[in-house]
Amino acid sequence: MMLQRVVTPEVLDGLAAHDPAAMRSRRDLRRVHRAMRTPSIMLAGLQDMTLWRREVTALRVLELGAGDGSLMLGVAPSLARSWPRVDLTLLDVQALVEPATIRRYAELGWVARAAVTDVLDWAAAPADPVLRGAPSARWDVIVANLFLHHFEGTQLASVLGAIAARTDRFFACEPRRAWLALAGSHLVGALGANAVTREDAVLSVHAGWRDNELSALWPAHGEEWQLDEYAAGLFSHCFRAQRFEPA
Ligand SMILES: C[S@@+](CC[C@H](N)C(=O)[O-])C[C@H]1O[C@@H](n2cnc3c(N)ncnc32)[C@H](O)[C@@H]1O
């Protein structure tokens, strides 16, 4: 029997950034990522992307729902071999990125900054509100981890539409909506996760993705985009959209 997709607001999203339970849950998330092998899944998904030109300027990367920025920081040392110069914007509705995290990116040669913005405002703005004033108002790559599953319906359509309009490459690593992942989500307590993480893990799987669901929702089909959607590891579901290079 197939699990139907059900989106329910997550507990963490309702807590203030400095609520002790929220802070603990974000630390739990790092352990959950290690168990899910998210860093290596993300690295593989990003390294496989086709960059059309050797960037003279830094690669402009936007992470949506980036949290405290620690997940990308874990991937950056390996990614830096193929992406030596990166200008990274970590967008999240909460102010979670510590100055120490920005400094650690700088040690890798990456310029990182936080953008505290609701993605729905970002998507609804007629021009990218984060890039306003930039010489070229486009992102080379947009990334999202454990993020798209928060949305459905018109909100999701708006976010995907804005992504497709503002970049040529998008990669998302999401919860897989499958029985094995659901069983795993009930076991995150074994990693020492608190009540917030335990509840959100289960909600995330119910709101997750399977098969080609994200490809079907991608706003621009046809010849313009190459879409890849695949199961990764035991619990993850990835989606990658790359615009074909113009002739
Ligand atoms: C499950 S956490 C994932 C964090 C990070 N991507 C990771 O994988 O470790 C989801 C993140 O999305 C953020 N978020 C939720 N709704 C948002 C919105 N409407 N706009 C921007 N960020 C949002 C939350 O604040 C949270 O940091």
97-151 residue pLDDT tens: 999 999 999 999 999 999 999 999 999 999 899 987 776 778 999 999 999 999 9
Instruction: Give the SS3 label for residue 115.
Output: strand
Q: Are 62 and 139 in contact (CB under 8 A)?
A: yes
pLDDT band at 52 (very low <50, low <70, confident <90, very high): low
pLDDT band at 84 (very low <50, low <70, confident <90, very high): confident
Cα–Cα distance for residue pair 154/160, rounded to 1 Å: 10
Using the mean position of ligand 1's atoms as its centre, give its distance from the Cα of residue 217 in Å: 20
Average pLDDT over residues 18-28: 96
pLDDT greater than 90 at residue 83: no
Cα–Cα distance for residue pair 91/21, rounded to 1 Å: 22
Q: Are 218 and 232 in contact (CB under 8 A)?
A: no
Cα–Cα distance for residue pair 227/229, rounded to 1 Å: 7
pLDDT, averaged across the chain: 93
Using the mean position of ligand 1's atoms as its centre, give its distance from the Cα of residue 54 in Å: 31
Which stretches of 109-181 are assigned E, i.e. beta strand? 111-116, 141-145, 169-175
**152 exposure class (CB count in 10 Å sphere: 0-12, 13-18, 19+):** middle
Pocket of ligand 1 from Cβ distances under 6 Å: 13, 29, 65-67, 71, 92-94, 118-120, 145-147, 150
Atom of ligand 1 nearest to the CA of 96: 27
Q: Are 208 and 149 in contact (CB under 8 A)?
A: yes
Instruction: Give the SS3 label for residue 231.
Output: strand
pLDDT band at 236 (very low <50, low <70, confident <90, very high): very high
pLDDT greater than 90 at residue 223: no
Joined together, the tokens standing for residue 181 give 């992942």
The DSSP letter of residue 39 is H
pLDDT band at 247 (very low <50, low <70, confident <90, very high): low
Cα–Cα distance for residue pair 62/141, rounded to 1 Å: 6
Determine the length of the chain.
247
Q: Which of 70, 72, 93, 148 gets mutated to test ligand 1 (max ligand atoms within 8 A of its CB)?
A: 93
Given this model, what pLDDT does residue 54 score?
55
pTM over 0.85: yes
Q: What are phi and psi of 141, to 5 degrees?
A: -145, 140
pLDDT band at 156 (very low <50, low <70, confident <90, very high): very high
State how beta strands 59-64 and 86-92 pair: parallel
pLDDT greater than 80 at residue 63: yes
The contacts of residue 20 (CB under 8 Å, 6+ apart) are none
